[in-house]
Structure 1
Amino acid sequence: MATKARRGPYFCGIDAAMDVVSGKWKSLILWELHEHGVRRFAQLRRGLPGVSEKMLVQQLREMEEDDLVRREVFPEVPPRVEYTLTEHGLSLNDALSALGEWGTERIRRIGAEKVVYAAS
């Protein structure tokens, strides 16, 4: 499967950052890995209700290419695969935290419902 080249040119730093986290799921995957550390694929999928298996695989592959996520395969039967944030992914999560705070305030301000998922 061909992946989109994320190499610019970019108009500004926000353009470059949004290119890496574009789409609904990448920022949520970052948050899930930040909150729980090491996660297996099924744990990620349970933590992100609504994401299809195909979309999660695609997003994780792109995030791995962008050095945001580390995928580690253990030589076991059945194979065990774990995902963690890289240093680059952790730094992006730090950068997104202010945006998350802004969004939480927006939820409160407009009286929107905030969905809370049970920990898995």
Structure 2
Amino acid sequence: SHGIGYVLGAAFDVPHGYTSCIMLPAVMRWNARDNAERQMIVAAAMGFPGHNAADVLDAFIRSLGMPRSLADVRVAPEHFDAIAEQAMRTNWISRNPRKIESPADVREILLLAA
């Protein structure tokens, strides 16, 4: 979420806290195929054992009244290709639990957060 968040902050003036609220559940959904066991620990730590961690986190963020989508901060799908290209150049993308191979992978995450 940080690699994408840096781009959203720089290019669209979205505060970093907002980018985390928007992107983290989407990134968790995208990563779930590779780290589902770790995500189960997150859900349990948040008081919802056996639930989907991204859904638990999404509900928590929603309860705080924070932005929940890229549309909420006026980032439109026509910008996703440029955001994905720029995000690939950040230091964070290579550290993602599920290997991000190309801007197309980043675009998939952006669509989850649209």
Could you tell me the TM-score, scaled by structure 1's length? 0.32
Task: Flag the structure with higher strand content.
Answer: 1
Highest RCO, 1 vs 2 (Cα 8 Å, sep ≥ 6): 2
Flag the structure with higher helix content. 2
Taking structure 2 as the reference length, what is the TM-score of the superposition? 0.33
